Structure 1
Amino acid sequence: MNTARPPGPRGHWLLGNVVEYDKDRIAFLRRHHREYGDVFSFDDRTVFTIDPQLTHQVLTATNHDYVTELGPFAGSSALHAAGEMISPWMRARRVVRPALADAAASGMDARIVAILDAVLDRTAGRDVDVLPVMLDFAGHAVAELCLGEDAAGIPELLAANHAALLPFEDADYQLPAWVPSPRNRRFVRVHRRTMETLTRLVAARRAEPARRPPRDLLDVLLGAHPAMTDKSVTTTLWSILVGGHGIPAAALTSIVRELAIRPRLAADLADEAGPPAGAAPSAGAAPSAGAAPSAEAAPPAEAAPHGRLPLAEAVVKEILRLSPPAWMMTRVARTAVTLGEWRLRPGDEVLCTAFLIHRDPRWWSQPDEFDPARWETARPAPGTYLPFGAGSRYCLGAAVAMRQLTLATSRIAQRFHVHAPNAVAAEPEFCGRLAPAGLRAEFRFGE
């Protein structure tokens, strides 16, 4: 067993590798992967791995040897606190997992399509920044899934949280929480307002008679036996809301880019979906920019069921391979553990680079080619396909996300021609959730 640190670039004597990494993150990783191999050090506490077997080992050992990424302002006690949260979080996962399974999630299909219709109808005839539009859609969809009729105002809070978190995702350093910087104050203010709102909603629903059957995830959580505390319910809602917001939005932004670049693919998807039901609404009939999407504001939602959209599903899988929104997954060692031939200390971070694993020719044929047809036979080995992670912290909403993304991909191709002159130039931005930077598009009603 080698007890030394993995090799890696030394970097600047004061700033280490931060400046070089921030110039071009993926070029930095590719370069040092070639030089040092599948495991290399970024600094004294951080290790990158591009090895599928080691990545799978780390992800499946989460909750035992590792915890998930610590949040902004994580102090010296954060590692212990994260360990104490494992048991209640895993119990909450067991409670809501059946409600997020593929069969159960199918009950949301019509609403997902109606929400997407209403959001995109508001853009009719206008050139728009695609990512905020998809964040709007994903925010309304996950808010309704979690809170049903009490979802009003939650998409706006999710948008505020997304904006407040971006500076932390873009930077490789952060000032301590006690420094009153603008980004620190903004994050604390938005997070506090969100948690207070969710706490009020949980308490109000708790005071009502139990609803049978449950109508949303909050009902499911409040119906757990033995009962969950309000704090645990609130924390679980927060995790699902945030996870169901940024990741689907980033994936859909990448999907829109491909539809704009590949009109033949868009036409094939439209053929698979069949003609849209109802006439396209006029711009004047669309809901106002501040209005929540409603089923009545959109044409009847008659997209084909998830299982009858094999091309759309293959397109989603291929986009999640080429541009996984969670392109980097961080785990923090709870104790002294081994990573291959290397030994890690408590508090060391392991960054598992899904993007590079997904494009590695050792595991994928023509890895940089967009080829949905590969999913007719593809059976990825463990650790080689990680859009939703792996192990005990495998994305709880993976089935919901696949349904949502498949339906949305099909519906966009079914109803719209995507016109995006800057689609080719809008390259993925490697910070936060991976999505094409600055992609703009016009969603033109199909003829």
Structure 2
Amino acid sequence: MSPRTTMTGGVDILRRKWTAEPVFAIALCVVVGLRLALPFNVPVGGVLGLVLVPLWLPLLQRARLFITLASLLVAATITGVLLTWWMSAERLFLPSSLVERSALALGLLGAVGALLWARTVIGLSAVSIAYGTGMTLGILGEIDATSTWRFTFSIPLTILLMAIAARGDRLMPQLVIVVLLAAVGAVNDARSNTAMLLLAGVVLIWQRIGRGAGSARRRAGNIVGVVLFGVAVFFVAQAAILEGFFGEATKDRTQAQISTSGSLLLGGRPEIAASEALVRLHPWGMGSGIIASPADIAAAKSSMAAIGYDPHNNYVDRFMFGGGIEVHSMAGDFWLWFGLPGLASCAIIAVIAGMGLDRSLREGACTALAVYLATRLVWDLAFSPAVSAMKTLPLALIVLAVPVSAIIAQRSSARPGTLPEAAAADRRAT
């Protein structure tokens, strides 16, 4: 065999290898977004990510915040087990809850690692579209006569359509999708999702005005500006709802929640009061497998009753305290399940999101999808169960990741000719 033939064969093998890698990366993103579950709700995508740790662990050399997050999630899992062992001397515990919540924390680590690696191979835009495709495929098995836009379709279709619209960095396609999705959400009682979409549209226009004027925004100006826009959208949306612009059913539900506690947030999320009571009793956490004692439940119900909410119902007895502890807040859940490492994990997640959004705004490269995911991440930390937050959290962390451009440059230099297209696409889509 001649040297030329050997060289040609080697090139063909390399070509097939690097062609298969993007296909595998896309399939991996779809599986992570699909959220298939093994027994005890162990996420398949998270497990695959953990199996593939040799692929993405070297990437963390240039990603200190991700190193911190990975370390905290591992520490949180261990702490949850130790707290369960400690508290089980006085309280009942469920082994199934211990396994499920440990898998949730480690599955988040695996999912983020898998998407981080995939982003260096196929770019951010392809990762987002593949993830959104997985989420959309995941709802096909849930569609039935009781399916609603608010609980079934809104988030998956929002992610997918906004990811597609973000390609090419054009303003109008993103605004059209934002307006259409917000309109559909408004007539289907999806209040929070509609407000997030409106905020994404406002911030996108604000960014383009600044880019057109050639003005550079300082870091504090970015964060303060987004917060102020968020507050304004909240109060404008609340006023529009109370005026009946979103339908009488939405108006009545909102008015009842405000009348209950004097605030839409407290009235709509009375679990906040329960979280405060349990954290005050157990500031070090309770454990990922612990069942609340009668004294714990009484304290939580008393705190909820203090804001005008009647806690004596099946939701509180079964959902919140029937199979462990669930306070409808990722930060609250992680604190109570995993102790202080769990709370610190939530803090690092917020830092990654804030720094990433700020960087994108300063560079004039922020998409509506990035603003939406950042807003949803903050909402989920405060007001969504940890299980629900996992639907979008892995993608949010990758879309808002600060150090990924440096990681891509590192991989591109390490493997010449392999990733320049992905790197360029990633920079355009960030």
- Normalising by structure 1, we get a TM-score of 0.26
Give 1 or 2: higher helix fraction: 2
- Normalising by structure 2, we get a TM-score of 0.27
Name the structure, 1 or 2, with higher relative contact order (CA <8 Å, separation 6+).
Answer: 1
